[in-house]
Amino acid sequence: MSEPNYSSRRSKLVRSFKSAGIDALLVSGESNVRYLTGFTGDSSWLYISRNTTILISDSRYQTQLQDECPDLDVDIRDARKPMTEAVAAIIRSASPRNPGFESSHLTFEQYQTLAAAVDPVTLAPTSGLTERLREIKDKWELQQIRDAVMFAERGFAVVRSSLTHSQTETEVRFLLEAAMRSFGATGPGFEPIVGVGPTAALPHAHAGSRQVSESPILLIDWGGETQSGYRSDLTRVLVTGKVTKQMRTVYETVLKAQQEAIKAIKPGALCKDVDAIARNIIADAGFGKYFGHGLGHGIGLDIHESTRMSPLSDQIFEPGMVITVEPGIYLAGKFGVRIEDDILVTRDGHEVLTSVPREFDDAVVEFLA
Amino acid sequence: MSEPNYSSRRSKLVRSFKSAGIDALLVSGESNVRYLTGFTGDSSWLYISRNTTILISDSRYQTQLQDECPDLDVDIRDARKPMTEAVAAIIRSASPRNPGFESSHLTFEQYQTLAAAVDPVTLAPTSGLTERLREIKDKWELQQIRDAVMFAERGFAVVRSSLTHSQTETEVRFLLEAAMRSFGATGPGFEPIVGVGPTAALPHAHAGSRQVSESPILLIDWGGETQSGYRSDLTRVLVTGKVTKQMRTVYETVLKAQQEAIKAIKPGALCKDVDAIARNIIADAGFGKYFGHGLGHGIGLDIHESTRMSPLSDQIFEPGMVITVEPGIYLAGKFGVRIEDDILVTRDGHEVLTSVPREFDDAVVEFLA
């Protein structure tokens, strides 16, 4: 699979300028810069217009930039010149009529400093121009995400097959990370959640010292990351002992909500409608107030990116989007169940990229002795 | 060591409001919220005034908040209500006369949305109010940092004692992380840099596939993180083979620059003067253009925090600050040397918290066979 065509990505971005009312853009979001240039460092901003593309960085990255972006114009500022001054100098010299900035990737303070430095030029806030491009994954990106899924699934198989009653959440987490790395992942992509019983009831728990034996419910939310920075994101619950009737009901409800939502994913469907399918199934089963987060999110260079599936979303599915579907029910102090898969929107529907079995019977772990 | 007194930290913050010209503050910086409340999650903002303290969060964190901040007023928004709306409702109801926000922790977009939602109340930008408090570490925090140093130093001892010619940078990195965790660290605190030869010449390199045998210079920049989120940050160069005269000169120059700079650290000294001591020694040795970054930074809940030591800094050392001192010389394509220690500013000078030997002879690794 050939490398991504960064120059073509930048051309697409420039073509979106007209409707955004700008003729140049300062890209300061780290993943956006990476997407548009291939540069994997931080603290570097991209100025881009029809005729000019300059990456403003500092001496720490000089050599790395020559390796990663040999064809890109680069402005290396030294330790004495703040980023905003270096950028202001470029804007003054390029003199665009209506330069934009990424309003969700400059802090208010950075904006104020930069605005003062380029005065009387005014800076126009823009939102999501590069993120919009990143929503639709190209072939190369899809292969990256498939690799990230593979790392995650092979890692999970190792953890599952070596699970014991005496392992702690933290031990399981570290084993999972090591296993994914052994298959080629650069890392877990995000801090894996490994939660036993009451810990599984915390949607954003940190792995701690609970042992697998403390509850029949073990929740694992994990993903892998590829060398090029693409991520996967899955959740499975393992059943490690005798469950209560309520646990079984919760599991089946979450699974049904997830499966029915996935079925509805296709080009043209509304994200909030798919969210509502899962939300209604959970509410109808009497657990509505125990599902407080959105149904899912885009994955790619960031672990949470556009597209968003929530009651607030006004987005529409398009071919090439890759999103998680992850309903959950959380009973505080007792247990939680979340089931999460990664879904590609295809031309005529969707493809589930993740294949770890998810039926209740599949979740039951048989222990020796 | 008793737990931190969050309420006293918040009182100190409120006492700084008058000179900042505000009577309430919206704290949105994640580490700032953690410092002021003990809450370890994300996506949660703190509204604080003389009479009101409310943490605005969402249902994912409901149980965790009861555990971590049982005495704090908490506003749990549901998935249908954006953060800015929830915060605006609180501001409208508390009706402060001049509420401030953290201008380096709200994006321009968040500011715009929030400003529109609270209109006609206007929001005043503030900068560094909580960060200023965080610069001066209390006893409990110092113990945390000492623990983080201990994790790092024990981990490094494992790596050093098990080093072989055939190990790759990545293998060394993963071993280092696993070793620190085995001593009680929750993680590495930041992605450790392990660089052989030319990779060591990249100040922000990622560990890759170079083998230790490829160069006599192996640079390791690493730290540990405690359960409570405090970090350490060290760099050492190991000499794993026969070095050139230039390598030796560069090593001794960096070490001299670092040691002379450390000697000058005491209350009342200017950060930029200490930076200049190291910078001048490196420049006088003819390597001025190969040291492009600042001399050091504060550490604590963040791996880079206020205080900053650079030619641009106008800060002054005060007792209780903990900062790194890390000059470096980077010869692109060949090798790099950086030596980094963590320094506590004491009432009458400083204390070096890190103790891994740093003389050239200490850096030489004897291999078996």
Torsion (CA) B195, B200, B203, B208 in degrees, nearest 10: -30
For B261: left if phi > 0, alpha if psi spans -120 to 50, otherwise beta; the answer is: alpha
Region A16-36 average pLDDT: 98
Cα four-point dihedral sign A79, A80, A82, A88: negative
The pLDDT-based confidence of A60 (bands split at 50, 70, 90) is confident
Average pLDDT for chain A: 95
The CA distance from A286 to B246, in Å, is 73
Task: Catalogue all structural domains in chain B, each as residue range(s) with its CATH number.
Answer: 6-132 (3.40.350.10), 136-363 (3.90.230.10)
| pLDDT score of B289 more than 60 | yes
Amino acid code (one letter) for B344: L
C-beta of residue B99 within 8 angstroms of C-beta of residue B25: yes
Picking from B39, B108, B174 by the largest number of A CB atoms within 10 A of its own CB, the best residue to mutate is B108
Region B92-113 average pLDDT: 96
Residue-wise over B50-78: b if at least 16 C-beta within 10 A, else e?
A: eeebbbbbbbbbbbbbeeebeebebbbbe
Kindly determine whether residue B111 and residue A108, on different chains, have CB atoms separated by under 8 Å. yes
Query: How far is the alpha carbon of A79 from chain B, nearest alpha carbon, in Å?
Result: 5
Parallel, antiparallel, or unpaired: how do β-strands A45-49 and A53-58 relate? antiparallel
Amino acid code (one letter) for B95: S
Query: How far is the alpha carbon of B195 from chain A, nearest alpha carbon, in Å?
Result: 13
| pLDDT score of A1 more than 70 | no
Give residue for tokens 């220690």.
B341
Region B194-210 average pLDDT: 92
Query: How far is the alpha carbon of B95 from chain A, nearest alpha carbon, in Å?
Result: 23
Q: Where are the beta strands (DSSP E) in B199-318?
A: 217-222, 234-239, 296-298, 305-309
Average pLDDT for chain B: 95
- Residue of chain A with shortest Cα separation from B191: A187
Q: What is the pLDDT of residue B369?
A: 45
Kindly determine whether residue A201 and residue B63, on different chains, have CB atoms separated by under 8 Å. yes
For A101: left if phi > 0, alpha if psi spans -120 to 50, otherwise beta; the answer is: beta
Element (H, E) at B36: helix B30-37
The pLDDT-based confidence of A165 (bands split at 50, 70, 90) is very high
Q: What is the pLDDT of residue A59?
A: 84
| pLDDT score of A181 more than 60 | yes
The beta-carbon neighbor of B60 closest among A61, A203, A206 is A203
| pLDDT score of B273 more than 50 | yes
The CA distance from B314 to B307, in Å, is 10
- Residue of chain A with shortest Cα separation from B58: A292
- Residue of chain B with shortest Cα separation from A170: B186
Q: Helices (H) and strands (E) in chain B — how many of each?
A: 12, 16
Query: How far is the alpha carbon of B302 from chain A, nearest alpha carbon, in Å?
Result: 16
Region B99-128 average pLDDT: 97
Angstrom distances, CA of residue B15 to CA of A346, B48, B49, B318: 57, 12, 10, 19
The pLDDT-based confidence of A292 (bands split at 50, 70, 90) is confident
| pLDDT score of A81 more than 90 | no
- Give A24's strand partners: A49, A99
Region B72-89 average pLDDT: 90
Picking from A43, A61, A63, A80 by the largest number of B CB atoms within 10 A of its own CB, the best residue to mutate is A63
C-beta of residue A66 within 8 angstroms of C-beta of residue A57: no
Q: What is the pLDDT of residue B368?
A: 55
Query: How far is the alpha carbon of A278 from chain B, nearest alpha carbon, in Å?
Result: 14
Query: How far is the alpha carbon of B111 from chain A, nearest alpha carbon, in Å?
Result: 7
The beta-carbon neighbor of B108 closest among A82, A106, A294 is A106
Region B255-265 average pLDDT: 98
| pLDDT score of A193 more than 80 | yes
Q: Which of B262, B236, B261, B240 is nearest to B251 (CA)?
A: B236
The string of pLDDT tens digits covering residues A108-139 is 999 999 999 999 999 999 999 999 999 999 99
The pLDDT-based confidence of B99 (bands split at 50, 70, 90) is very high
The beta-carbon neighbor of A82 closest among B82, B110, B312 is B312
The CA distance from B201 to B198, in Å, is 5
- Give B297's strand partners: B308
The pLDDT-based confidence of B203 (bands split at 50, 70, 90) is confident
Among A74-83, A143-152, A313-322, whose mean pLDDT is lowest?
A74-83
Chain A residues touching residue B178 (CB < 8 angstroms)? 174, 178
Tokens for B282?
Answer: 């490196």
Q: What is the pLDDT of residue A369?
A: 45
Kindly determine whether residue A63 and residue B206, on different chains, have CB atoms separated by under 8 Å. no
Angstrom distances, CA of residue A161 to CA of A157, A180, A339, A367: 6, 14, 19, 10
The beta-carbon neighbor of B103 closest among A61, A112, A204 is A112
The string of pLDDT tens digits covering residues A298-317 is 999 999 999 999 999 999 99
Q: Where would I find the H helices in chain A? A: 6-15, 17-20, 30-37, 62-68, 83-94, 108-118, 129-135, 139-161, 169-182, 245-263, 271-284, 360-363
Region B197-224 average pLDDT: 94
Region B15-32 average pLDDT: 98
Q: What is the pLDDT of residue B358?
A: 97
Region B292-310 average pLDDT: 95
Q: Which of B65, B81, B61 is nearest to B73 (CA)?
A: B65
The pLDDT-based confidence of B1 (bands split at 50, 70, 90) is low
The model's pTM: 0.91
Kindly determine whether residue B125 and residue A112, on different chains, have CB atoms separated by under 8 Å. yes
C-beta of residue B126 within 8 angstroms of C-beta of residue B13: no
Q: What is the pLDDT of residue A205?
A: 85
Chain A residues touching residue B108 (CB < 8 angstroms)? 101, 103-104, 106-108, 111, 125
Picking from A34, A61, A108, A330 by the largest number of B CB atoms within 10 A of its own CB, the best residue to mutate is A108
Largest CA distance in chain B: 76
| pLDDT score of B86 more than 60 | yes
Kindly determine whether residue A205 and residue B64, on different chains, have CB atoms separated by under 8 Å. yes
Query: How far is the alpha carbon of B313 from chain A, nearest alpha carbon, in Å?
Result: 10
Q: What is the ipTM of this complex?
A: 0.90
Chain B residues touching residue A40 (CB < 8 angstroms)? 206
Chain B residues touching residue A104 (CB < 8 angstroms)? 107-110
Chain A residues touching residue B63 (CB < 8 angstroms)? 198, 201-202, 330, 332-333
